[in-house]
Amino acid sequence: MPKILIVGGGYAGFYTAWKLEKHLRSGEAEVVVVDPLPYMSYLPFLPEVAAGAIEPRHAVVSHRRHLKKTRVINAKVTNIDHASKTATISPEGGESWEYQYDQIVVTAGSVSRTFPIPGIAENAIGMKSIEEAIAVRDTLVRNYERAAALPKDSATRKRLLTTVVVGGGFAGIETIAELRSAATALLQKIPEISFEETQFHLIEAAPRIMPEVSLDTANWVIKEMGRLGAHIHLETQCADATDGIVKTSDGAEYPSDLIIWTAGVMANPKVVNGSDLPREGRGRISTQADLRVIDENGTVIDGAWAAGDVAAVPDLTGGGVGGMCVPNAQHAVRQAKRLAKNLVAVIRGEQTVDYIHKNMGAVAGLGLYKGAFQSNNLAIKGFFAWIAHRGYHGLAMPTWERKWRVIWGWVHNFFLGRDQVQLAASAEPKAFFQEFASRPKPKTED
């Protein structure tokens, strides 16, 4: 039986395995997914998780529950030697071992792309994983609770009430908008803090935000954000973040305990560089339009496939950037569905079909009851765009079990309000026990 190894169980990896389960006949191939995480994360929900509008667990899809015919291995793939069709699998706390495959599907996604700005690595946090979104939610709430107990003129209080986001793409704008909305709701429970004290700054190097929408829509978002109390600084760079003091190219300084970096992504360098598969100039694995990996001459590498953010897949609609599909979930999901069909076709000696998908547009949630939607020249702003955002993502969440949890969560929040209890102490779960635990008396010398 041929062995299919899927590296990464995120959007593209999860959908590839899910669809292979559907398309493969019984006994036709063995499918293995390797991912250190036991779930696929629905990343478009991260800003709402950070805002307390979605329960973190509801925004992930369990591999073991929903991939019933796939073997799931919770470990990292640390090396791919495709010449010998061998992958090195490294479980946490255990010895690495080798896995021999016939077909490999690389779907290891992307990571935050940063620049060597002093202090960013030490003081900022990304918005690329559910764990980061949880930490942002807890930090925001905890900072406000701490600030409330400090005198009005305290510098620490001002710092705790300042949030800085770097990067004005979709992720950055949704993040600052959702956090602003969450903070405004939080102030109703913390009367010691006035609205004017809370500071939200987004720093963007380009002269505009959200390249996926029209300039008119982007400018409307900036205006709305300003009205709600979040300031967007265009043509401004983050020059330094040492000790959590964000210094910008226009000379401003924002001391902050919550600096969120959302200025771009790059293909997972550990997986790409740890493999002998060909890559293009931007560090992605090159594929042809049917999602098979190709070398620099365009020759197909037998038994190798890639999709999602880690792959450079030609955009046959003529859109994309540099002729390649942009890294987003719209492409990752559809590429995975096409890849699964093509892989089965290759196993059966049939023809593959090229991947082609015309961009459906973009929809952003901008806090409760506000959104922006753009598809070609059609732009919807405000409440109906927010309905479109929730409607689209509620239904796009994979599996009915997960859709149900997310949508019911929204219904609960509508009646009960968002849940803004922070559980930051769970980062050190043994601290309480250890504070009071009896310990053996030190042995005395005779």
Ligand X SMILES: Cc1cc2nc3c(=O)[nH]c(=O)nc-3n(C[C@H](O)[C@H](O)[C@H](O)COP(=O)(O)OP(=O)(O)OC[C@H]3O[C@@H](n4cnc5c(N)ncnc54)[C@H](O)[C@@H]3O)c2cc1C
Where along the sequence are the contacts to ligand X (CB under 6 A)?
7-13, 34-37, 43-44, 46-47, 76-77, 107-109, 127-128, 170-171, 268, 270-271, 308-310, 327-330, 332
| Residue number with CB closer to ligand X (92 or 153) | 92
* Mutual angle of helices 329-347 and 11-23, in 10-degree steps: 40
| Residue number with CB closer to ligand X (161 or 304) | 304
| Residue number with CB closer to ligand X (11 or 373) | 11
Pull the structure tokens for residue 251.
Answer: 């000379």
Q: Are 17 and 31 in contact (CB under 8 A)?
A: yes
Alpha helices in 229-374 (DSSP H): 269-273, 329-347
Min dist CB 158 to ligand X, Å, is 27
Pull the structure tokens for residue 446.
Answer: 């005779």
Min dist CB 200 to ligand X, Å, is 17
| Residue number with CB closer to ligand X (64 or 270) | 270
Min dist CB 295 to ligand X, Å, is 22
Indicate the pairing of strand 110-112 with strand 71-73. unpaired
Min dist CB 444 to ligand X, Å, is 50
Min dist CB 279 to ligand X, Å, is 15
| Residue number with CB closer to ligand X (275 or 352) | 275
Min dist CB 441 to ligand X, Å, is 45
Min dist CB 353 to ligand X, Å, is 21
Question: Residue 208 carries which DSSP code?
Answer: S
Cα–Cα distances (Å) from 147 to 139, 143, 187, in that order, read: 12, 6, 12
Pull the structure tokens for residue 200.
Answer: 């939200």
| Residue number with CB closer to ligand X (73 or 346) | 73
Min dist CB 89 to ligand X, Å, is 8
Instruction: Collect contacts of 407-414 with beta carbons under 8 A, ≥24 apart.
Output: 409/54, 409/55, 409/58, 410/53, 410/54, 413/53
| Residue number with CB closer to ligand X (232 or 336) | 336
Min dist CB 224 to ligand X, Å, is 18
Nearest-CA neighbor of 216 among 228, 225, 208, 226?
208
| Residue number with CB closer to ligand X (46 or 346) | 46
| Residue number with CB closer to ligand X (274 or 409) | 274
| Residue number with CB closer to ligand X (10 or 367) | 10
Q: Which residue's CB atom is positioned nearest to ligand X? A: 10
Min dist CB 77 to ligand X, Å, is 4
Residues in CB range of 387: below 8 A, 6 or more apart: 371
Cα–Cα distances (Å) from 326 to 242, 322, 335, 351, 358, in that order, read: 33, 9, 12, 26, 12
Handedness of CA 201, 219, 330, 62 (dihedral sign): positive
Cα–Cα distances (Å) from 215 to 211, 219, 441, 445, in that order, read: 8, 6, 70, 78
Indicate the pairing of strand 103-106 with strand 3-7. parallel
**Ramachandran area for residue 15 (φ above 0: left; ψ -120 to 50: alpha; else beta):** alpha
Q: How many residues does the chain have?
A: 446
